[in-house]
Structure 1
Amino acid sequence: MPPSPFPRISTVPTIDEDLGHVLLDQARQAINVALGQPALPALPARQDPRLAERGATFVTLTIDGGLRGCIGSLNAHRALGDDVRDNAVAAALRDSRFAPLSADELQHIRIEVSLLTEPDFIDFKDEADALAQLEPGRDGVILFNGCQKATFLPQVWEQLPERRAFMAALKQKARLPVDFWSPNIMLARYHVNKWKEPAPGE
């Protein structure tokens, strides 16, 4: 197995609900500022020291349950606060699958922040062996094939609970045929802690 491209994290934030509130607040504030909206009331914990530790996040935006943007980092290469703010703005304005979020949509979006563990490569003999090792509902998966790469967060298992269908869709995301397999394919898995805003109006 090749050396991991993911740097080791010397300090890992403590996972708790307070951290979730802080990350959601950071994401919401960043999107507000990017759209030229007034700042929201400050949370007392906004200067949480864990925001200065390295961390990797994905920020997912939905409206009425439908995806509206999702951008993230697979490796912890910068401060957690910078990562969640930058990914929030990118999900709102730079996800190529969607038009940039408008100020009118801002009150309707629901933000989810996922904090990733360090990915670990999976050792497998073939596709069947790889599929057998995946834990539906728990594993986020990264697929590498040369310069092609794609990932699914663990939340995707909610729509694709069967391993083979999950892998087929992941290949498609990497712009590979659903029946493609190669000795060059590498897979890595990670887990997430996730926090989601209440639905608008709740």
Structure 2
Amino acid sequence: MTTDPLGSALLVTARNAIGERFGLARQVVDALPELAEPAATFVTLTQQGQLRGCIGSLEAYRPLATDVAENAVAAAFRDHRFAPLGQDELPRTRVEVSLLTPAEPFPVLSEADALARLRPGIDGLIFSYGRRRATFLPQVWESLPEPRQFLVQLKLKAGLPGDFWHDQVVLARYGVRKWKET
């Protein structure tokens, strides 16, 4: 567990929210003023290093503690890629909380311009075209370290072909502070 008070509070908040669904006792969370401030977060669940659920918010619209708790429950029980988490899985599930910086417009002249200016390992990216939208957290660079492949997979996640590009594509980028259970 992290020694950072905010990170510890967020990880406990996430685990408490999931555990409550199984009737488990809550751990005490330090009352930090940051927990009441609006924030956008993602909660990622893994088992043996493999993704088990990931849900989040791209805009800050509710208190940090609420956002983490709601996203933790959604990642555990409502990520359409996975069956709902079983109580027997909880002990072997690791929680990661990512606190997003506000997204900033990332205007580009072309796909080549975007690829040249992306910062691997730093940028979280939001890809939007019409009603289609997808995001990758900066952590995704760990498995997709090459900008072209990162962008191809993000377009596929948005339901578009990997080679798609249009002048009306809108990009935004953000950073994260993250904490992960050990």
For the aligned pair, the TM-score class normalised by the smaller chain equals over 0.9
- TM-score w.r.t. the length of structure 2 is 0.97
Matches within 5 A, 1:1-202: 17-36=4-23, 38-43=24-29, 45=30, 47-198=31-182
What stretches of structure 2 of length at least 5 have no aligned partner? none
RMSD of aligned Cα (Å):
1.0
Once the two structures are TM-superposed, the CA of residue 48 in structure 1 deviates from its matched residue by 1.6
- TM-score w.r.t. the length of structure 1 is 0.87
SS in 2 for 1:180: coil
Question: Per-residue displacement from partner, 1:96-125 (whole Å, max 9, x unpaired)?
Answer: 000000000010100000000000011211
What stretches of structure 1 of length at least 5 have no aligned partner? 1-15
Question: Per-residue displacement from partner, 1:140-182 (whole Å, max 9, x unpaired)?
Answer: 0000000000000000000000000000000000000001000
Question: Runs of 4 or more off by more than 3 Å in structure 1?
Answer: none
CA distance in 1, matches of 2:63, 2:107: 30
CA distance in 1, matches of 2:178, 2:150: 20
Q: Percent identity?
A: 57
- Matching residue's letter, 2:13: Q
CA distance in 2, matches of 1:182, 1:151: 17
- Matching residue's letter, 1:177: P
CA distance in 1, matches of 2:12, 2:32: 11
SS in 2 for 1:92: helix
Number of residue pairs aligned between Structure 1 and Structure 2: 180
